[in-house]
Chain A
Amino acid sequence: MGDHSEAVQVDFDPNVISYRDLLEVFWGRQNPTKSNGKRQYMNAAFYHNKAQKQLLEETRAEIAKGLAAPVTTHVLPAGTFTLAEDYHQKFSLRGYPALLDAFSKIYPDFNNIVHSTAAARVNGYLAGHGTREGLQAEIASFGLPEKAQRKLLEVMGTRYGWCPAS
């Protein structure tokens, strides 16, 4: 790993979701006072422009006000982003070969699955994010054949207790 840090990079449409909204998720999913000191696993946000840097510093200051210990989360300029090995990609989707196979038929080159929004969203649902209503509203946009769509809904029902819509 060298001096790399494990990170997630998100391409987003600021007309749909703002960077500030993403920062709410970022700050909400960590303990900002707890850093294990290792470069590989550290809390950090990497800014891509001045506006992101400013928002990061503002929100870090807001977070710090409510904490007794200092914030150890890093705010750093974005550098080169290197994709992790394939076995790290779409981790939850990998647990369901039938669904991964369906994407493989659409995208024989796995690199395209890595960058596919459809695959990312299915991976997210399988990891327990999103809502039943949200999935049902967009499942047709994932390009999956009907059998795979049924499988996805079945898995969500079994794993998370989602019942079919009445």
Chain B
Amino acid sequence: MLFSPTTSLTMIPPIDTAAPQTIETATFAFG
């Protein structure tokens, strides 16, 4: 899921706007 933030400010962290070209999801559980 790509992050699409809603914020009242324009200072969205640069790292949050640097969406990768491709994205994959991984899910893990640690007992």
Q: B27's contact among A29, A46, A143, A144, by CB below 8 Å, is which?
A: A46
B15 to chain A, nearest CB (A): 4
Number of residue pairs across A and B with beta carbons under 8 Å?
A: 121
Chain A positions 131 through 156: 1 when the CB is less than 8 Å from some CB of chain B, otherwise 0: 00000001011111000000000000
A159 within 8 A of B: no
Q: Give per-residue flags for A44-70: 1 if the beta carbon is below 8 A from chain B beta carbons, else 0.
A: 111010001000000000000000000
A6 → B minimal CB distance (Å): 6
**B residues in contact with A140, CB < 8 Å:** 14
**A12 to B27 alpha-carbon distance, docked (Å):** 11
Distance in angstroms from B4 CB to nearest chain A CB is 8
Q: Give min CB distance, B30 to chain A, whole Å.
A: 6
Interface size on A, residues (CB 8 A): 48
Specify the chain B residue showing the minimal Cβ separation from A29: B30
| 5 further contact pairs, Cβ within 8 A, besides A22-B28, A141-B15 | A15-B21, A42-B29, A43-B30, A117-B3, A118-B13
Contact check, A106 vs B12: say whether CB atoms are below 8 A apart.
yes
Contact A116 B5 (CB under 8 A): yes
Give the CA-CA distance A115 to B7 in the complex, in Å.
13
When the two chains form their complex, are residues A9 and B26 in contact, meaning their CB atoms are under 8 A apart?
yes
Q: Which of A92-134 contact B (CB under 8 A)?
A: 105-109, 112, 115-118, 121
Which 5 interchain pairs have the tightest Cβ spacing?
Answer: A143-B13, A13-B20, A118-B13, A46-B27, A7-B29
Are B28 and A45 closer than 8 Å at their CB atoms? yes
Q: What is the CB-to-nearest-CB distance from B3 to chain A, in angstroms, rounded to a whole number?
A: 5
